[in-house]
Amino acid sequence: MNHEKSKKLLVAGEWVPAADGGVSQTYDPATGELIASFAEAGPADVDDAVAAARQAFDDPEWRALSPDARGRLLWRIAELIERDAADLAELETRDQGQPISMSSGVNVVLSAQVFRYYAGWCTKIEGKLSSVSVPDTLHYTRREPVGVCAIITPWNFPLAIAAWKLAPALACGNTVVLKPAEQTPLSTLWLARLCVEAGVPAGVVNCLTGGPLVGQALVAHPGVDKVSFTGSTEVGKQIVAGASANLKRVGLELGGKAPSIVARDADIDAAVAGNLQGALFNTGQACGAYTRFFVDHKRVDEFTEKIADAAAQLKIGPGIRPDTVLGPLVSAEQLNRVAHYVDTGVRQGAQIVTGGRRATGPELDRGHFFEPTVFAGVRDDMVIARDEIFGPVLSIFSYEDEDEVVARANDTDYGLAAVVWTQDTATAHSLAGRIRAGTVFVNLLPLIDPGAPWGGFGLSGWGREMGSFAIDEFTETKGVFLNLAR
């Protein structure tokens, strides 16, 4: 990418340095090597970006743009993502660590898909007539953009999550200040550059890089009308508190502790393969990753042996290598966090079946690699059974009957995703209806699709993303009463 632009902020259509000259660095988690420097925004930059977004929101160049023209802009962004797919995938892998097969085959592809999907929505955002009891009165509703939206994204899927928030925000006519995680800013900066190239008017999309103080300033800023955040539950709570001063709208997609229920009749080999992928994609750094495995007591030994053997054979290495299955964790901080949870599990009495250590070797010693770890003998009250670890750690439990497993699967503060492995349709529907989670998969990996809602119950957040639900998140409903009496 243009490394000079990677050191700058996008404000009002211009690439500018941070007001105080601040600069930070981002490193390759597979090697520890410096990739690039980027601007460290400060309070003055937040003020400038919010002011630019407000001015663009009120400017007829954007506000009066036809839905069809907005749709063509979003479609053009999708085309540019596909044009630059190879560069974006390599950049995402080097900055975040995920295998190149995932960055190229999943994240870049999904990013283009969501822009194309919401390009189609631009001409379909409609109000409706309402039946009111006031005589001689017509009532209808309008769907209008919320205003200036602060979009704050995490480090685990930087490009894809930025895309699935930015696309519906623009489709609805909002303006945006986009703030990527400080660990992985590069693909988001590239996306911002593509928005400019596509012809998005100046100030409609602004991009600020930097640390938590930038996010905090955006959340508290009186000129911001909505915050859309994906990240940890702890930071989500801080955002709710920070947004309370002017009661700005808040959308939160937070943590998860997804249960995987393996029924007695399940195809164990399929369940092992699917659960391994569902647990360890992106090295387990995913809020929807499968982490708690409830296996029928008659099949638990077979399942444990097979999944531990399969996990131990996974190819660990730098994400840029085409044969890598398990890349590095994103940072030394995350590596230490995972190691701490594994140590805690051992202290509390869980048994490691495989893994449990930092991965070492000629290609691994400089990076943040951790062995895929399978625990047996886990109790529901253990820390590893309750906290979101965000790493390659699997906990296996056994259960006796459906009522028991539903109660235990639901015994969590989270409720983002769950999965059921069964060959019986009645079992699938019964469990899907009883598990408290925003999405329940049956015999599937944790998929994201532009047309399907994504979000959770409890501490997994507020609201839903994707599909028509994102249109609701990024619009206000206005009612209009019209007197028809002569």
The span from the CA of 340 to the CA of 387, in Å, is: 12
Residues with Cβ within 8 Å of residue 401, at least 6 apart in sequence: none
Q: From the candidates 122, 149, 195, 287, which is the catalytic residue?
A: 287
Q: d(Cα 27, Cα 15) in Å, to the nearest integer? A: 22
**C-alpha count within 13 angstroms, C-beta hemisphere, residue 201:** 21
The CA angle 419-421-426, to the nearest 5 degrees, is 100
Note if 287 is an active site residue. Answer: yes
* Residue tagged active-site, from 40, 92, 182, 253: 253
The conformation of residue 223, written as its DSSP 8-state character, comes to T
Residue 105 is given by DSSP the state I
Strand pairing report for 290-296 and 373-376 = unpaired
Place of tokens 């409890």: 458
Spatial distance between the Cα atoms of 324 and 278, rounded to a whole number of angstroms: 16
Between the alpha carbon of residue 3 and those of residues 6, 35, 154, 311, 323, the distances in Å are 5, 10, 22, 38, 29
Q: Six-digit token pair at 261?
A: 């229920």
Sign of the Cα pseudo-torsion (177, 212, 209, 100, in order): negative
CA-CA-CA-CA torsion sign (276, 281, 282, 284) = negative
Tell me the backbone φ, ψ of residue 313, rounded to 5 degrees. Answer: -95, -5
Which residue from 158, 245, 156, 170 is spatially nearest to 200, judged by alpha carbons?
170
Angle at 166 between CA 163 and CA 171, to 5 degrees: 120
- Would residue 149 show up in a list of annotated catalytic residues for this protein? no
C-alpha–C-alpha distance, residues 209 and 18, integer Å: 9
Please check whether residue 178 is in contact with residue 52, taking contact to mean a CB–CB distance below 8 angstroms.
no
Write out the catalytic residue numbers. Answer: 253, 287
